[in-house]
Amino acid sequence: MASKIKVDQIQTADGTGTIALQNQLSGMTTASLPTLTGTEMPTGSIVQVVSTHSTANMTTTSSSMVGTGLIATITPSSSSNKILVTIAGGRTDVGHAHQPRASLRSSINGASYTEILTNIEERTYTGTAYWGDAHALTYLYSPNTTNSVAIQPYFMTNTSTHYYNTSSCSIGLTLMEIKG
């Protein structure tokens, strides 16, 4: 059973006046409520979210950084806004005498990818095999632009094969625009 409160007037706290409540909300719909735009939101608010994931096996034998192909693109609504980058899941597999390295790179408005965070993964292992940890990265990036921003992890190896993600795992990349 729904409850109802029925009043004709509410008296002010000091008792000096009353507030009439005759049909104050009648006819109001959600369409008549004001829309809060990204520019009106307080600092620290999440303005938009973009996410992608992959179960693809990402491998390289390159001794130079190469892209993983896991790319998310976001277009900030203000150049003072920041992008919170989160990478989660996946698993790095490495072999004998393997020193995998990974970095985070961005491309603004279709330009070449440039490094924004280096050595997000750097290990030295001299045994026969190593099964790495799941990826977990959070980075607050300030691109200072309103052009499209593409984010992609890059990786390399010094020997053998570096598996940035195995096909039995899922790795996700999420970008959140944060009001600056």
pLDDT at position 47: 93
For residues 179 and 45, is the Cβ–Cβ distance under 8 A? Answer: yes
Residue 16 lies in a domain: no
**Tell me, what CATH number does 152's domain have?**
2.60.120.760
Convert the pLDDT of each residue in 9-28 to its tens digit.
777 778 787 766 565 556 66
In this structure, is residue 39 part of a structural domain?
no
Does 11 fall in a domain?
Answer: no
Convert the pLDDT of each residue in 103-159 to its tens digit.
899 999 999 999 998 866 555 555 555 555 566 789 999 999 999 999 998 887 766
Residue % of the chain over a pLDDT of 90 = 34
Is residue 111 within a helix (H) or strand (E), and if so which, with residue range? Answer: none
pLDDT tens, residue by residue, 121-137:
555 555 555 555 566 78
Percentage of the chain modeled with pLDDT above 70: 70
With respect to residue 142, please indicate whether it lies within any of the assigned structural domains: yes
Phi, psi (rounded to 5 degrees) for 138 = -130, 130
The total number of structural domains in the chain stands at 1
Domain hosting 49: range is 44-178
Q: What is the pLDDT of residue 83?
A: 98
Phi-psi region of 55 (alpha: psi -120 to 50; beta: other; left: phi over 0): alpha
The beta strands (E) that lie in 55-109 are given as: 58-60, 66-67, 72-74, 82-89, 93-95, 101-108
pLDDT at residue 116, as a whole number: 93
Instruction: Please check whether residue 140 lies inside any domain of the structure.
Output: yes
Asked whether residue 70 is domain-assigned, the answer is yes
Gap between the Cα atoms of 10 and 91, Å rounded = 62
Instruction: Determine, yes or no, domain membership for 174.
Output: yes
Q: What is the largest CA-CA distance in the chain?
A: 84
Domain assignment present for residue 27? The answer is: no
At 18, which helix (H) or strand (E)?
strand 18-20
Average pLDDT for the chain: 80
